[in-house]
Amino acid sequence: IYPPTEGMLYFEGKKLKSLDPKKAIRLGIETVHQGFGLLPSMNITRNIFLGRESVKRIGPFRFLDFNNMEKESRILIQMAGIKAIADINSQVGMLSGGQQQAIKIGRTIYFKAKLVILDEPITGLSIRESDIVIKLVNELKTRGIAVIYITHRIDQVFQYCDRIDILEGGIKLGEFKREDTTIRDVEEIIRRGDIVN
């Protein structure tokens, strides 16, 4: 949404002149937002395929292929480990926060994302719901999908991340491999607000 004020943007070794949300999706970059990304009044299937509906042709006409989307939605829900959902025609607004996050992350796996940006993915979730979401984050990693995990919780950073970038006001204060730093070091950099080379 916001163009960079300086620097270069590369994805898969190619320099990008610009990047808008539609282009990002075409490239395989998906974002799972903290509080939105699903339409509460629509059912699970419609939310999963929103903007990427499956269609079938009958002569010169194209129709939404609801049977295929429902079949694929069942597969995605099973893969995402959301056991409590009995009906994929349920409205998303009736699901728990963890179930909604699992649907959003599962959708990125289904559409074969190459990079997933997770914005505070377990904020406000119960321990059980957080476990489901973290299991999906690990599934992304297992499939070789790059994950940018955005959080203010330093304990989560050290638990789930391989590399740590510290940002403040759009400025990078430091970049580290997890094994080369400690929670205390990261907290101190954040407190001081100094750029570390």
Give the predicted TM-score (pTM) of the model: 0.81
pLDDT of residue 107: 86
Q: How confident is the model at residue 193 (pLDDT cuts 50, 70, 90)?
A: confident
How do residues 11-69 score in pLDDT, each as one tens digit? 999 998 888 888 998 999 998 887 777 889 999 999 999 888 999 999 999 999 999 99
Q: Is the pLDDT of residue 79 over 80?
A: no
- Which H or E element spans position 135? helix 127-142
Q: Is the pLDDT of residue 197 over 70?
A: no
- Share of residues in the chain with pLDDT > 90 (%): 30
Hey, which bits of 110-193 come out as E strands? 115-119, 146-150, 163-168, 171-177
- Apex CA 182: angle with CA 177 and CA 184, to 5°? 140
Q: Is 187 helix (H, G, I), strand (E, B) or coil?
A: helix
How do residues 137-152 score in pLDDT, each as one tens digit? 888 888 889 999 999 8
Nearest to 175 by CA among 148, 141, 139: 148
Q: Is the pLDDT of residue 86 over 80?
A: no
C-alpha of 165 from chain center: 18
